[in-house]
A and B are shown apart, each in its own frame.
Chain A
Amino acid sequence: MDKILLEVKNLTVVLDGEKIINNLSFSINQGETLTILGPNGAGKSVLLRTLLGLIPYQGKINWNKKIKIGYLPQGLTQLSTKNQPLTVEDFFNLNITTLSKKEIIHFLKLVGLSEEILVKLIGNLSSGQFQRMLIAWVLIGKPEIIFLDEPTTGIDLGGGETIYSLLQKIKNERGLTIFLVTHDLNIVYGFSDKVLCLTRRGHRCFGSPKMVLTPQSMSEVFGMNVKFYKHQ
């Protein structure tokens, strides 16, 4: 039987007097990828941040054990770090897990980056390299679950697919559980075990991509006809 890692019951989040999430319940098993899908303002990032313990809430969030979490936040890009005098090596030294240079190189290689990148300023990396570096940075703490908030924002289509393939590979190798926030329906289909969709109007759906990602359900979520292709 699948082992439940997280169970959320009747979760309600209120920010500045506005109910962003209302009475939400779902669960996720260990080793699964759950994608949170929905338009802007539906509360996807709020849900992620609530599960991370960054926002106060009502209801129940039950983790089945004390778990190590990795987090790739939204909005952290090479452009937002442009003015920091940090090389890739310096950035790894900010991690609370202390690593030797050899270990840093090991993690860089894991995400397909070469040793030469260590001396580059993080603000000068390409967006794809920056995202890979962040994934390596998060993996250092040996997390059992990773929260990814729109990890391919600002990356072109090919680059985005490469990042997801990399995540899939790491997930399979390490038995990770992944929480992913994205708008990208095409990626969701090939990458997720479960999908949770949220809307501004309170409509929601939860289930396998095959069950949830129907044209009818997507037009409910996004408020218009949405076209996507199914990965085989």
Chain B
Amino acid sequence: MDNQLFLSLISGVFIGAAAAYLGTLMLSKKMSVVAGPLAHLALPGVALAIIFHFSLFFGVFPFIILGIIFIWFLEKKTKLPLENLAAITFAFGVGSALLILSINEAEEALIGNINNISLIEGLLVISIALIIFYLTNKIYLRMMLINIHEELAQTSGIDINFYNFLYLLAIGLTVAIGVYLVGGLITVALIATPSAVAKNLSNNLKTYQFWAIACGITMTIIGILLGRFYSLPTGPMIVVTGVLFFILTVFFKKNKDIPANEK
């Protein structure tokens, strides 16, 4: 195995696993859909990184953070539904990126290219993935309670604003490294697909997390290898592999325990 493939695989595995882990939390908060528009909002940052030849991460991350603040501010100010704001953000991201770059030049921004990742970028991505793991693990149980009932969490003494801030930071970091792997166009699949697969296979929180991470890692490895050996774009290969997993698991869906009778 050549060094570049090894680096791509290692970086990809870390990105896939971190995105999948955070994705389990986002699915339970019904927020998977927000990752898509955020990733699209990163596209102008990717375009600037390509034009001025600096690391994608430094192009993507500021735009993601701005995007999170933008959506959060507009939601508070306008009380519009999140889907509506997500659509506006999505349109702005793609539109402004294509103003800066032509469609041909924008390919890397749209579908990613983990195969060109440098050693420094690889180390950066792995470090960020580890930070995402740490952050997600720290906030996981508290965020689950917030997802179930905000006031119940609040009266339990949980500082909701603080946890939401850490949660959004984890989303921002995940989207930023997700763009490396599959591009801004399909980063949402890294977050949404493994948790959907896991939901089909699990019947408690631990197995839900396990299957999501396993799926995130497996789809990334298969996608990178297939893309490499059949000379197909890696990002879309990873995403298609994940969706195939999802379709397969629909047929293996666990027969969840039937509603219990009053005892």
Contact = CB atoms under 8 A, between A and B. Distances in A.
Interface residues of A, number: 36
Contact of A94 (B24, B144, B257): B144
A13 B28 CA distance: 33
B151 A49 contact: yes
A119 interface: yes
Contact of A84 (B148, B157, B258): B148
Interface in A25-60: 49, 52, 54
Contacts of A80: 148-149
B102 interface: no
A76 B257 CA distance: 21
B54 to A, nearest CB: 40
B contact residues, range: 20 to 34
Given A71-B152, A121-B257, A84 B263 contact: no
A171 to B, nearest CB: 19
Looking at A71, A112, A147, the one whose CB has the most chain B CB atoms below 10 A away is A71
Contact of B148 (A81, A87, A119): A81
Nearest to A85: B208
B151 A96 contact: no
A159 interface: yes
B178 to A, nearest CB: 23
A129 B157 contact: no
Interface string A90-119: 100111100000000000000011100101
A94 B147 CA distance: 11
Contact of B258 (A75, A83, A94, A124): A124
A86 interface: yes
B155 A71 contact: yes
A1 B183 CA distance: 71
Given A71-B151, A73-B152, A126-B261, A93 B203 contact: no
Interface of A: 49, 52, 54, 69, 71, 73, 75-76, 80-81, 83-87, 89-90, 93-96, 112-114, 117, 119-121, 124-126, 128-129, 141, 147, 159
